Amino acid sequence: MSANADSHHHGPVDWPQEEHVGEITAGKLGMWIFLLSDAFSFSGLLLAYGIRRGASDMWRCSEELFNQGLCSWLERPEPELGINFTAGLTFLLICSSVSMVMSYAAVVEKDMKSAKMWLGLTILGGALFLCGQMQEYFGTFAFIFHHEGLIKEGLIFGQSNYATTFYAITAFHGMHVLTGVTYLTVMWIKMLKGHFDDGNANMIEIAGLFWHFVDLVWILVFTLIYLIPL
């Protein structure tokens, strides 16, 4: 049995060189395969969004169109999406991505104090992103942002392609952020217990792959859903 097959081995993994995949560990390769399958899920949603939007004569029922009586099935016009607020959330995810790689780097350098701090900041960034999404949907923090949320403004899931694709895609991404925050919190607890003190950053790198993927997908969602003009 090789040293890599020993599940109780916590030291730096000496993974054998392989002709095609190099020194990539089985866990890392497994995460890549999972992420590619997940990318297909997001691709399906984004392609459906593109097809619906491309085929639509009227994407968002603005106040002007509503007043012309062009969207009689709605009780009120649909709100615009807040670009500046979401740009802030995008920046937050970018910050959490860099704190994730800094945590990984600190584990490799066996600087566990920094590693714990950076990973904690990454989790905080993810949690704040989720709070931002709650504010965007429900106006949970309206006392800070003075915005009552998209649902109260009339953007209701199921009432139009604009609303439905928006919630389906951003909520699916939000579920990934929630999963990522949970995953990283487990890693952080392991770190606090000294699990990575030997400098073996493989598990942190695998968790980081998931977190960076969440960031990468948001980069595309932000552009396609929020920035492309109506």
Partner 1 sequence: MAVNKKKYWQIFAWLTILTALEVGVVYVPGVSITALVSCLILMAIAKAALVAYHFMHLSHETKMVRNGVAFCLAIPAVYAIALIGEAAWRLLS
Are 177 and 214 spatial neighbours (Cβ–Cβ below 8 Å)?
Answer: yes
Of 63 and 109, CB closest to partner 1: 109
Q: Looking at 112, 127, 134, 220, which residue binds partner 1 (CB under 8 A)?
A: 220
b/e for 15-29, b at 16 or more Cβ within 10 A? beeeeeeeeebeebe
Distances, alpha carbon 142 to alpha carbons 14, 83, 122, 135, 147, in Å: 52, 17, 25, 7, 5
Distance CA 120, CA 11 (A): 23
Q: Looking at 97, 133, 160, 165, which residue binds partner 1 (CB under 8 A)?
A: 97
* 227 touches partner 1 (CB under 8 A): yes
* 224 touches partner 1 (CB under 8 A): yes
Of 12 and 194, CB closest to partner 1: 12
Of 148 and 197, CB closest to partner 1: 197
- State the binding string over 4-43 for partner 1 (x if CB under 8 A, else -): ----------------xxx-x----x--x---x--xx--x
Of the CA atoms within 13 Å of residue 36, those in its CB half-sphere come to 5
Of 151 and 220, CB closest to partner 1: 220
